[in-house]
Structure 1
Amino acid sequence: MERMDASDDRVPCKYGPLCYQKNEAHHKKFKHEKKKSPEIRTSPGRNEAVDVESSSCPELETDAATCSPPTKKQKVEESEKKDSELEFVGKEDAKRIIKNMFLVEMPDEFYAFWDVCLTINPKKPLEAFKDCKFSLVGPFEVLAGVLKENEHQVPYTLTHWRYFYDPPEVQTLLRGDDQKQLHWGYYRDDPNEMPSYVVSNAAAEDCILKDAGLSLFATVDFLVASSLKSADPFSKVKIMRLQTALQKKAKEEKINMHDKSEFFARKRKIVCPAFHKGGLVVKCDKKTKVGYRKMETETNLKKLLDKVCGAETEERRNKEMEALDSLITYANIANDECDFGGPLELGINMFCHGNELFHPQIMGVLVATYQLLGRPQYAEILKAHIKSGRKKGSALSIV
Structure 2
Amino acid sequence: MPGNSNGVKRARVNESGISQKENNGSTSQPSKKSKTVSETSKLSDTDSKILTELEEKFLCKHPQEILDFFNWAKELNPKEPTKAFYGVNKLELVGVFDYLAGKFANMQISEKQLLTHYRFVTDLPEFQTLFVYDGGRFGYWRDFPEEAEPLLVHISHKDEHFPKLEIAGTSNLLCAIYFLLKDQAHLEKYAKFFPETADLNGFENLISDAQKARKKKAVGKAMHGVGIWVPVKNDVGYRPVTDNVASFKKDLITMGTTKDDAVKDKMRKKIMETFAYIQMGNDELDYGMGLEFGHDLFVSGYECFDKMAKNVLATAYRLLKRENLGKILEAQMEIGRRRENVSVIES
- Do Structure 1 and Structure 2 share a fold, with TM-score over 0.5? yes
Conserved? CA contact 2:112–2:335, under 8 Å: no
**What's the counterpart of residue 184 of structure 1?**
138
RMSD: 2.5
Conserved? CA contact 1:97–1:149, under 8 Å: no
The verdict on how the C-alpha distance between 1:229 and 1:387 changes in structure 2, with shifts beyond 3 A counting, is: farther
**What's the counterpart of residue 344 of structure 1?**
291
Conserved? CA contact 2:256–2:303, under 8 Å: no
**What's the counterpart of residue 159 of structure 2?**
205
CA deviation map 1:105-125 (0-9, x unaligned):
211111111111111111111
Conserved? CA contact 2:137–2:155, under 8 Å: yes
Counterparts of 2:282 and 2:76, CA distance in 1: 50
Gaps of 5+ in 2: 8-46
Specify which of 117, 121, 126 is matched with residue 73 of structure 2: 117
Structure 2 residue 281 is the aligned partner of structure 1 residue 281: no
Counterparts of 1:117 and 1:224, CA distance in 2: 17
Supply the AA of the counterpart residue of 1:148: A
C-alpha displacement of 1:355 = 0.3
The verdict on how the C-alpha distance between 1:95 and 1:319 changes in structure 2, with shifts beyond 3 A counting, is: same
| Equivalent residue runs for 1:27-42 within 5 Å | none
Q: Secondary structure at the match of 1:200?
A: strand
Specify which of 217, 220, 226 is matched with residue 269 of structure 1: 217
**What's the counterpart of residue 290 of structure 1?**
236
Counterparts of 1:330 and 1:320, CA distance in 2: 16
**What's the counterpart of residue 168 of structure 1?**
125
C-alpha displacement of 1:328 = 1.0
Q: Secondary structure at the match of 1:129?
A: coil
Conserved? CA contact 1:140–1:173, under 8 Å: yes
Conserved? CA contact 1:332–1:365, under 8 Å: no
**TM score, norm. by length of structure 1:** 0.68
C-alpha displacement of 1:166 = 1.4
**What's the counterpart of residue 69 of structure 1?**
none
Q: Secondary structure at the match of 2:65?
A: helix
Specify which of 107, 118, 126 is matched with residue 63 of structure 2: 107
Counterparts of 2:294 and 2:239, CA distance in 1: 14
Structure 2 residue 274 is the aligned partner of structure 1 residue 318: no
Conserved? CA contact 1:94–1:142, under 8 Å: no
Counterparts of 2:179 and 2:166, CA distance in 1: 14
Question: Greater relative contact order: 1 or 2 (C-alpha under 8 angstroms, separation 6 or more)?
Answer: 2
Structure 2 residue 5 is the aligned partner of structure 1 residue 88: yes
Gaps of 5+ in 1: 1-85
C-alpha displacement of 1:204 = 3.6
Conserved? CA contact 1:334–1:343, under 8 Å: yes
C-alpha displacement of 1:228 = 7.2
| Equivalent residue runs for 1:1-399 within 5 Å | 87-90=4-7, 91-132=47-88, 133-148=90-105, 151-177=108-134, 180=135, 182-206=136-160, 207-214=163-170, 215-224=172-181, 226=183, 229=186, 236=189, 239-243=190-194, 245=195, 247-248=196-197, 250=198, 257=203, 258-259=205-206, 261=209, 263-285=211-233, 288-296=234-242, 297-314=244-261, 316-391=263-338, 394-399=340-345
Counterparts of 2:100 and 2:183, CA distance in 1: 27
Conserved? CA contact 1:187–1:195, under 8 Å: no
Conserved? CA contact 1:89–1:142, under 8 Å: no
CA deviation map 1:44-100 (0-9, x unaligned):
xxxxxxxxxxxxxxxxxxxxxxxxxxxxxxxxxxxxxxxxxx643344453233222
**What's the counterpart of residue 8 of structure 1?**
none
The verdict on how the C-alpha distance between 1:201 and 1:369 changes in structure 2, with shifts beyond 3 A counting, is: same
Counterparts of 1:355 and 1:171, CA distance in 2: 21
Counterparts of 1:128 and 1:168, CA distance in 2: 27
Conserved? CA contact 1:270–1:280, under 8 Å: yes
CA deviation map 1:270-323 (0-9, x unaligned):
1101111111111112xx310111221312211221232344344542342122
The verdict on how the C-alpha distance between 1:131 and 1:312 changes in structure 2, with shifts beyond 3 A counting, is: closer
The verdict on how the C-alpha distance between 1:148 and 1:94 changes in structure 2, with shifts beyond 3 A counting, is: farther
Q: How many residues align?
A: 295
**TM score, norm. by length of structure 2:** 0.77
Percent identical residues: 30
Counterparts of 2:322 and 2:213, CA distance in 1: 21
Counterparts of 1:294 and 1:225, CA distance in 2: 36
**What's the counterpart of residue 42 of structure 1?**
none
CA deviation map 1:201-257 (0-9, x unaligned):
1234241111212221222234355567489xxxx4xx33222x2x42x58xxxx74
Counterparts of 1:184 and 1:154, CA distance in 2: 23
Conserved? CA contact 2:144–2:322, under 8 Å: yes
Counterparts of 2:263 and 2:185, CA distance in 1: 54
**Which is higher, the Rg of structure 1 or of structure 2?**
1
The verdict on how the C-alpha distance between 1:104 and 1:149 changes in structure 2, with shifts beyond 3 A counting, is: farther
